[in-house]
Each structure stands twice: as C-alpha cells, then as structure tokens.
Amino acid sequence: MEVKRIWTLLLLLFFFALCSTTSCLASNVTYDRRSLLINGQRKLLISAAIHYPRSVPAMWPGLVQTAKEGGVDVIETYVFWNGHEPSPGNYYFGGRYDLVKFVKIVQQAGMYLILRIGPFVAAEWNFGGIPVWLHYVPGTIFRTDNEPFKDHMKNFTALIVNLMKQEKLLAPQGGPIILAQIENEYGYYEGAYGEGGKRYAMWAASMAVSHNIGVPWIMCQQFDAPNSVINTCNSFYCDQFTPIFPDKPKIWTENWPGWFKTFGSPDPHRPAEDVAYSVARFFQKGGSVHNYYMYHGGTNFGRTAGGPFITTSYDYEAPIDEYGLPRLPKWGHLRELHRAIKLCEHVMLNSEAVNISLGPSLEADVFTDSSGACAAFLANVDDKNDRTVVFRNSSYHLPAWSVSILPDCKNVVFNTAKVGTPTSIVEMVAEKLQPSVRTPEKNSEALKWEVFVEKAGIWDKEDFVQTGFVDHINTTKDTTDYLWYTTSIFVEENEGFLIKESQPFLIVESKGHALHAFVNQKLQGTAYGNGTHSPFKFKKPVSLKAGKNEIALLSMTVGLQNAGSFYEWVGAGPTHVEIRGFNKGTVNLSNSTWIYKIGLQGEHLGIYRADGINKVNWVATSEPPKQQPLTWYKTEITPPPGKEPVGLDMIHMGKGLAWLNGEEIGRYWPRKSSIDDGCVKECDYRGKFMPNKCFTGCGEPTQRWYHVPRSWFKSSGNILVIFEEKGGDPSKITFSRRKVTGLCALVAEDQPSVGPESWEKEVSGSNKNVPFVHLQCPENTLVSAVKFASFGNPSGNCGSYTKGDCHDPNSISVIEKFCRNKNNCAIELSEENFSTSLCPGVTKKLAVEAICR
C-alpha cells in the first residue's frame, strides 16, 4: 500500500508538472464592468492575433513562444470558414487548417485563447472567409435576415463549437478558450440591410449564446449589440471607447500595429512609439483586454488573399514579421510596455482611477487601492510639443504624444516615446537556385529547366459559347483566377491601317481585376485596376492581319471582395470591347459571339502537383525562354543552406503563381508603386496615425519576396513550378535567406528602465537604475564588429549614425570590450563606462551599430 501511495503521489506530481492554469485546470470565466474574471480573479490581458492558416504548423510553436516572450497572455485567431468547408458538407481540418492542433499548442504554452468564429471574418481574406459556393445556393443573401445564409452560418458555428467542446478546449473544460466572437464589424454595414440587418444581428447574438459554451461572447464594432454579449472596439485608438452596457468590461479586439498592402501600393508603417502610446492610453482609460491585430500577420498562401489586390504577404508590419522573426524595435518596445503595465495590474483592476489635469493636453490617471498601493499614467496628448509637468511634487518630462507609466506613482519605468530596445538590421541574403543532383560534368551547377507553354485562348473544347459577356466570378466560381473570353474579327485587305502599316486600337472596359490581351496568339498588352478601384480600361494599338483574326482576352481576378454591404454581388470581367481605326469607324465586339474557357490547361491538369506533373509534354532546356507569356517553368532544386526563413525573389518575373512540392506559395506580382505616392524619409510618430501617413517604397515593387516555409522543403528533389502570365526571366529567380546581420541601439541618459536584471544577462556595471544598451545577436551568431559607437550627442538613424560635437573617444573600445565575440551584452550609460561629465547640460546618448556573424 505504501508503494501504491508513492506511485499515486508521483503520478499526481507529474500531472501537475504538466499542467498550468490555462492548460489543465477548469476555469470559470465571468466579467464585471472592470475586467474579465478567471476563477474570480480580475485579469488584465494582452492578446496577440496569429492566424493559423497564414503560417504553417511547423511555425506555430515558435510564433506562440515568441509572443509569450513578448509579454503576451492570449493568442487570438479567426476561424476561416471557406478553408474548413471548401464544398457543402465537406470539411477539412488538416495542414494549415488544423485548428485543434493550433489551439492545443497555445494551451501547451500556458496561454489563453480568443476564438473569433465569425464566421464572416473580413481580414483581407478571400470572400471575407465565407465559402464562394454559398453565394450560389438559391435565394442566399449574405449577412442579413436570410434563411439560407443563417442556416449555413448556424451549422458551421455549431460545428466549430462542438469541435472545441469535443476536444475539451473551452476554459470550463480546462482548455485555453476564454472568449468567443460571433459576426465581425457588422455595425459598419447593418444600416444598408434595413430592418433585416437589425434582426440578423440580434439573431446572431442569440444563436451564439444558445450554445452555452461557458465563456462570454463578444461582438466587435456592433453598435447595437444586445446585453447578452460584450461589444468591443476595433481601431487605431480605443481609449475613448465605452461599452454599450455599464456592466461590461472595456475590450479592444483590434489594435492595428501596421497595415495591409495591395499590389502596386507603397509600404505603410506605423511607428512603435505610436502603437505603444495607443496601448498605454487604452489601459490608462480603463481598458482590460487588448488585442494586436496582427501580432504576426503571416502569408496569404495560394489564392487566399482577398481585397481584391491584397498582396501574398500579410506582414502587416506586425511585432513578429511574416517570416517569424521579432521585428525590432517594435516587438521589444511593446514587450517593455507590457511589463510596465503588468507592474500596475493589481492596483489598476482593484481601484477607481482619479483623473487629474496637469495643464492643457496634459493629464494623469491615478489608481490607489485600500492598501495604499499607487500607480499613475501621465499623458501628454499634444502632438507637437514636449512638456514638463509637476506630479506629486516631482517634475517629469513628457515628450509630445506620449505616456509615462509610474507603477509606484513616483518612478517612471516606461515612456511610450522613448525606445530603448535595439533595432535589428535584416537582410535578404540571395542564394542561387541549386540543382538537386550534381555531377562532375562541366556546368553541372546549371539548373535544368523544363517548359510548357499554354495556348492563348481555347486550349481544349470550349466550356460554352454566348453572345455578349458573362461575369467572370459567376462563371469561374473562384475555382481559378483565370477566364478566357475569345472571339474573332475578319479584316478586309483594303483597310487603311493595313495599307498605311498603322495599327488600330483595341479598347476593353472591365469591372476588374486584370487582363492580358492576345491577338493571333501574340500578347498585345496588359491592364489592371488597383486596391482602391478595381475597374479599368485597356487601350492599346494591336496588330491585325488581312482575313480572320482571333481576339483572346485572359481576364483575371486577384482575390475576391472581402467586406462591404452586399459585397458578394461585386463582379469582375470585361463589359465592353471595341476596335477603333477601321475604314467604317469603330467596330463594337461587345455583342459578338464569345467563346469561353475556364482556367488554364496546366491548372486543370494539376501539373504543379506530383500526381499531375507528367500530364503534359515538358520541353527540357538549360536556358529557359525569357519574356515569354503563358509559360510554365519547372525545375528540381536543393534547399537553400542554413536554417533562416526563406523567400523566393521574383523581381525579374512578371505576374503569376508559384508552387514548391505542390504547396501553394501564392500569387506573385512585383508590381511597382508610383513614385508620387507620398513617401516620407522619416516618420513622425506624433499625432494620429492613418495608413497613408508614413509610406515608404515609392517606385519600388510592393512585394519582391515570397515566403517559402522551411518545412515545405525536402532534403533533395524539390520541385519548383512557376506559371508566368506575361513574361519574365526565370534564370534570375533566387532564394533569399532572411537574416539578422546587425543591431543598432540609441539610448539616452533619461531613458527609463523597468529593470535590466530580468533579461538574465551580464550587465557592465552595478547600478541597476541607470539606462543601458542591450544587444543580442541571433542564435549561433556573435557580435563580430562594432561599426559605430558614440557616447555624447550623436544623430541620425540606424545605418546612418554620425558623431556630434560631444563625443567620448573611448566609445567604440567600451562597446568592443563588453560585446565583441559575444552573443549578447549590456552596457550601462554610467561613469564606470563613459565620460558622463562631458558636455555639461547636455542629455547624452549612446548610439551603437554592431555586426552579427
């Protein structure tokens, strides 16, 4: 019996060693007006959006762990209906859509999860996440009081809820899920549906609550949400948001730390200082649950991007970049913010804030509990001027548009405008594509390409013939991006443009999204819309011959509409075609007989997959043809060296699709933005952010590199397949390894510090209250050189620092002493290390740029 008791005790100890509060033990989740309560304990929660289909299962544990190390408590994700139910009643939960596996990884990390079921999600995702087939169920209208739509929505919601219950993933079952969401930002569009919209919103809330999942339901941007759910805020700033009902906590479901991109647009940037300011203001004003949308944006693999025109990259300038690397300084600055806020958690959640005016555009919110504990947030909301304020008989400097956090109402541990964490220098290191099999022969390292060229127009028996035009999307039902519209025209020998050797003009008006025009199998030109206006007009001179001429228009979608009132009815494709320049004037082809073919032959045969790759006659070549439209390229390659994330560099290609080993890399299109798109050299963090505030990359491709997850590579025999629509140079395609090659830091003497000892690193000096610079190279690399260092009044930015007239000449030697040949180091701005008496009256800074090898 004694042995049995010992074994029982050991088993119990083992069980509790595996458990955490979020992974094994049942939790009671309720709320009051101040916060969520988990097992009766108030919680101040910081959440991070990571969408499981926008990365791959091999990346999930690392992404979740990086979020946790960034001070995050909760992972949030949408549920993607069209990925899980690709056809009616046929469900898929494998690969990137293994929702259960993703939730369990979050659970194993000891974190909570917010499940936004929707099932409409918007999210720049194709068709807003609703399956395209549902649009063609007779009588269906999306997102209103419509029985077919509600029936399918109810069934899918029940499927997900029951799956979570079956896997015991809800908090009352010991799982990590503490909140669930129904619908998504419907308040923007409800009015367009009239009374049917109102009834639908109330029905959605009632339907969700009826599932009795044991955790609260939320509805974001639902301005008339019923009392049975919590209404929440989505915006760049939510400090002024107030829930509809006074018994509800203040929840921010989407704080956008960056923004999405569309092909042909410049890169939007939101500074780390402004993101931190928005978060600090939210908690200062009574917020309790905050979620970054996105914390890791990831990749729109395959044809999952919506928009239209949303890029394959969904990087979002999030704290974790598309490839899974922490984006510094944003990730580090927010980590320090989270630590500072958590120092105030108990007193904030258990007291009422007292607001104190400190002057124009200046205020303090002070939290004091019955034990005497005190925390304060001091804010300067002026977007131009720094201020010095007096609070509790002490003086504090507040930069413009910033918040200082004082967890004891005395000492500043964090200011949102003072970034003390390093900036990482990230490079895309090119690696030439290498053949899978090498031989001692000459030129053995040259890739062997195989080529298959599509016919322009009807590549097999036509799908149908019709007078006039059909809608592109209604015809393809999104089974492909491509639809051929073909017709013919007879040209008499006496036409003036033949005699004069001039060219008539082909005019095509289209609802969107893009088009390649062919005449007699030759590409004549391309036209397309953009992310703000899908319709476009094609007008180009074309070459016609005497006799019969075939006109073949390849119409293309670039992701379907993902939001808006009645968005499912937005169409695409040509609406008018004419040719100008005939002897008798303009020839209108719009009411001609048009022959239609859905998709491409290579697509139809699946020649990018192992089971379809031999269904066409590939032509082998050591030099693939350049600038040739409608061409499939195939080659066998080895993985790039190293362990760094990998991108496919398509700068020398035109537009098309790419696959590796049958996995969909996605659409590529190195379309350039305009040089006149309003880019800035430096972004001023001060003042309210909008997506067009801080553009960079004008005149450059919106997306050059395309993420190829490492887990998709085999040790050898990897098949890369490219479909090029309009012409490129595949011989110049390369892989690039995304690599952190250096670090920069710029820290001032007045930089507050939460406490460097928590980093578990050696700090040069003994005074833990002075500012410091911390450098940490990636794993298995060291600081190989110090490129720049100056203690004094240096200026500039990472990569372009310059010394000022105040400079400690020993700066580089000090940094080298503590950092050279080390993976990480920390250097205090103290008199033990630098001449702090230099330049009296000047607030000195330490600027460093180091190389990691």
CA 840 to each of CA 776, 795, 836: distance values in angstroms, whole numbers, following the listed order? 31, 18, 9
Burial status of residue 367 (CB atoms within 10 A of its CB: 0-12, 13-18, 19 or more): buried
CB atoms inside a 10 Å sphere around CB 463: 15
Specify the 3-state DSSP secondary structure of 136. helix
CA 332/CA 319 separation, integer angstroms: 8
| Residues forming the active site | 185, 254
E strand or H helix at 345, and its extent?
A: helix 345-349
E strand or H helix at 637, and its extent?
A: strand 631-637
E strand or H helix at 577, and its extent?
A: strand 574-582
For 68, list phi and psi in degrees, rounded to 5: -65, -45
Cis peptide before 513 (omega within 30 of 0): yes
Strand segments, DSSP code E, in 64-136 are 74-78, 112-118
Angle separating helix axes 330-343 and 272-284, nearest 10 degrees: 20
CA nearest to 511, candidates 475, 486, 544: 475
Are 174 and 165 a contacting pair, CB within 8 Å?
no
Burial status of residue 612 (CB atoms within 10 A of its CB: 0-12, 13-18, 19 or more): middle
Go through 419-437 and write b for each residue having 16 or more CB atoms within 10 A of its CB, e for each that does not. Answer: bbbbbbbbebbebebebbe
Specify the 3-state DSSP secondary structure of 805. coil
Q: Which two tokens stand for residue 122?
A: 């918007």
DSSP 127: G
E strand or H helix at 374, and its extent?
A: strand 374-380
CA nearest to 417, candidates 333, 358, 356: 333
**Which ranges in 120-252 belong to alpha helices (H)?**
147-166, 194-209
CA 456/CA 452 separation, integer angstroms: 13
**Residue type at 576?**
H
CB atoms inside a 10 Å sphere around CB 93: 13
**Residues 6 or more apart in contact with residue 150 via CB below 8 angstroms:** 200, 203, 207
CA 98/CA 83 separation, integer angstroms: 10
CA 694/CA 683 separation, integer angstroms: 6
Q: What are the strands of the beta sheet with 763-764, ordered from one edge?
A: 763-764, 824-828, 772-776
**CA torsion, points 20, 26, 30, 34, in degrees to nearest 10?**
-10
For 5, list phi and psi in degrees, rounded to 5: -65, -40
Determine how β-strand 574-582 pairs with β-strand 772-776: unpaired
Go through 384-400 and write b for each residue having 16 or more CB atoms within 10 A of its CB, e for each that does not. Answer: eeebebebeeeebbbbb
CA nearest to 21, candidates 125, 167, 161, 176: 176
**Residue type at 47?**
S
CA 16/CA 9 separation, integer angstroms: 11
**How would DSSP label each residue in 223-288?**
TT--TTSEEEEEES--TT---SSTTS--EEEEE-SS---BTT--EE---HHHHHHHHHHHHHTT--
